[in-house]
């Protein structure tokens, strides 16, 4: 608490965004870190606490609003995106955050997710992807890898999984990014960027469910493998990875290839990340190989793509303003009277 006597605007800290509710995720769950990072960036985004709304669906992640001292709604399964759409259309000035999981946003709520993205409401959709159904105690999810043995798939799952960022890009999302629970700084950066983006932001966060799917992302998060398996994207910078920062991605024709910088390849010849390049973003989202396969690509993290497009709520408000500007504010008596009336004496 500040003891300074100078008059300064009230500055909030992460603590101001915590509630008195006991956090009920399993000890060790990746959700704790995501909550901490969201609470950390909130004081810095420049939005008064009362103008922040967090809407969630159903699932472990969807308990999130209870732990954030903002406005919040823990709604029903899959519908947070649709509720947020209605709220944002009605109150464009609010900062609306949607917290959802892989099942919530891509299985039961898949339809609302793609439609919200194409309409481009200015909201942030955080998808906590743990590739499993945690709250219902361990069934495979729409992002689980093929042949996954779970309670509902004793012989292995048959479904082919979604590639979340490719799905979001396919729905013409104007901002797509990936981060992970175990890299706080990176996650804070991505969350802040998501907030700064005007339009629908789709943020996939790899989140470890240590109870039902422990280690699903460990190749990307553990020190020993992270450098080789994770490729951190930075706008304007070449795609370089590896423990010794000696591997890079080059584009040959329409295909990415992994090259070795020690083989005399110049960093200038590498793929330079451009967040505004839609075509390259599509290739990036497709760098989604099974990490067990020979010669696989590293998995990209960071902001894949960002573009500007009119937001639904702004055009909706504009149509209303234009109508009132040209025709005047509606007159109820005129409306009720209509065009043709008759008198009865």
Partner 1 sequence: MAANEELLQDVVIKFAGDSGDGMQLTGQQFTNNTALLGIDLATFPDFPAEIRAPIGTLPGVSGFQLHFSSNRVYTPGDIADVLVAMNAAALKVNLKSIKPGGKIIANIDGFDAKNLRLANYPEGINPLEDGSLDSYELIKIDVTKLTRESLKDFTDLGTKERDRAKNMFVLGFIYWMYNRSLENTIEFLKEKFGKKETILQSNIKVLQAGYNYGDTTETFTTRFRVEKAKMNAGTYRSIMGNQALAYGLIAASEKSNLPLFLGSYPITPASDILHELSRHKSFGVRTFQAEDEIAAITSAIGASYGGLFGVTTTSGPGMALKAEAMGLAVMLEIPLLIINVQRGGPSTGLPTKTEQSDLMQAYYGRNGECPMPIIASSTPSDCFDVAFEAVRIAVQHMTPVILLSDGFIANGAEPWKFPKADDLPNIEVAFKTGLAEGEDKFLPYLRDEKLARPWAIPGTAGLEHRIGGLEKQNITGNVNYEPENHQLMVNIRQEKVDRIAQYIPEQKLDSGPEKGKVLVIGWGSTYGAIKSAVLELQAEGHAVSHAHIRYVRPFPKNLGELMQQFDKVLIPEINNGQLIKIIRDQYLIDAQGYHKIMGVPITKQELVDVITKML
Minimum distance, C-beta of residue 213 to ligand SF4, in the bound complex (Å): 7
Told to check if 103 binds ligand SF4 by CB under 6 A, we report no
Max Cα distance, the chain (Å): 99
Instruction: Extract the tokens encoding 285.
Output: 């989202």
Give the torsion through C-alpha atoms of 26, 27, 30, 31, to 10 deg: 60
Are residues 70 and 53 in contact, defined by beta-carbon separation less than 8 angstroms? yes
Told to check if 212 binds ligand SF4 by CB under 6 A, we report yes
> What is the phi/psi pair of residue 234, to 5°?
-135, 130
Of 51, 48, 58, 49, nearest to 83 by C-alpha is 58
87 binds, among partner 1, ligand SF4, none (CB under 5 to 8 A by kind): partner 1
Grouping H, G, I as helix, E, B as strand and the rest as coil, residue 16 is: helix
Told to check if 117 binds ligand SF4 by CB under 6 A, we report no
Of 81, 54, 59, nearest to 69 by C-alpha is 54
Residues 59-78, mask of contacts with ligand SF4 (x by CB under 6 A): -x------------------
Q: Which residues bind partner 1 (CB under 8 A)?
A: 19, 21, 48-53, 55, 58, 65-66, 68-76, 79, 82-91, 93-94, 111-112, 115, 316, 319-320, 323-324, 327-330, 332-333, 335-338, 340-345
Rounded Cα–Cα distance for residues 25 and 61 (Å): 9
7 binds, among partner 1, ligand SF4, none (CB under 5 to 8 A by kind): none
Instruction: Extract the tokens encoding 70.
Output: 């903002």
Minimum distance, C-beta of residue 292 to partner 1, in the bound complex (Å): 37
Minimum distance, C-beta of residue 67 to ligand SF4, in the bound complex (Å): 12
**CB-count exposure of residue 326 (10 Å: 0-12, 13-18, 19+):** exposed
117 binds, among partner 1, ligand SF4, none (CB under 5 to 8 A by kind): none
> For residues 267 and 320, which CB has a smaller minimum distance to partner 1 in the complex?
320
> For residues 48 and 215, which CB has a smaller minimum distance to partner 1 in the complex?
48
**Binders of ligand SF4 among 125-154, rule CB under 6 A?**
130, 134
């Amino acid at each position: 608490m500040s003891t300074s006597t100078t008059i300064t605007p009230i500055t909030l800290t992460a603590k101001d965004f915590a509630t008195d509710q006991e956090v009920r995720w399993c000890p060790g769950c990746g959700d704790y870190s995501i909550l901490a990072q969201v609470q950390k960036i909130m004081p810095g985004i420049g939005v008064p606490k009362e103008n922040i709304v967090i809407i969630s669906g159903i699932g472990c992640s969807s308990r999130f609003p209870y732990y954030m001292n903002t406005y919040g709604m823990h709604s029903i399964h899959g519908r947070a995106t649709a509720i947020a759409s209605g709220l944002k259309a009605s109150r464009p000035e609010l900062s609306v955050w949607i917290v959802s999981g892989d099942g919530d946003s891509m299985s039961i709520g898949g339809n609302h997710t793609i439609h919200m993205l194409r309409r481009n409401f200015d909201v942030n959709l955080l998808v906590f992807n743990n590739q499993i159904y945690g709250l219902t105690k361990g069934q495979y999810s729409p992002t689980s890898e093929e042949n996954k043995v779970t309670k509902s798939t004793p012989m292995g799952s048959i479904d082919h999984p979604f590639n979340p960022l490719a799905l979001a890009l396919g729905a013409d999302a104007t901002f797509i990014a990936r981060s992970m629970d175990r890299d706080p700084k990176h996650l804070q950066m991505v969350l802040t960027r998501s907030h700064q983006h005007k339009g629908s932001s789709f943020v996939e966060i790899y989140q470890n469910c240590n109870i039902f799917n422990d280690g699903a992302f460990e190749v990307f998060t553990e020190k020993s493998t992270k450098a080789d398996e994770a490729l951190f994207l930075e706008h304007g910078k070449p795609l370089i990875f590896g423990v010794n920062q000696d591997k890079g991605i080059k584009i040959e024709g329409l295909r990415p290839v992994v090259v070795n910088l020690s083989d005399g390849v110049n960093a200038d010849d590498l793929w330079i990340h451009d967040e505004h390049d839609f075509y390259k973003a599509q290739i990036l989202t497709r760098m989604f190989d099974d990490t067990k396969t020979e010669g696989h690509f590293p998995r990209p993290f960071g902001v894949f793509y960002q573009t500007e497009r009119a937001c639904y709520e702004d055009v909706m408000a504009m149509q209303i303003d234009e109508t009132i500007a040209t025709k005047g504010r509606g007159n109820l008596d005129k409306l009720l009277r209509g065009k043709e009336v008759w008198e009865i004496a």
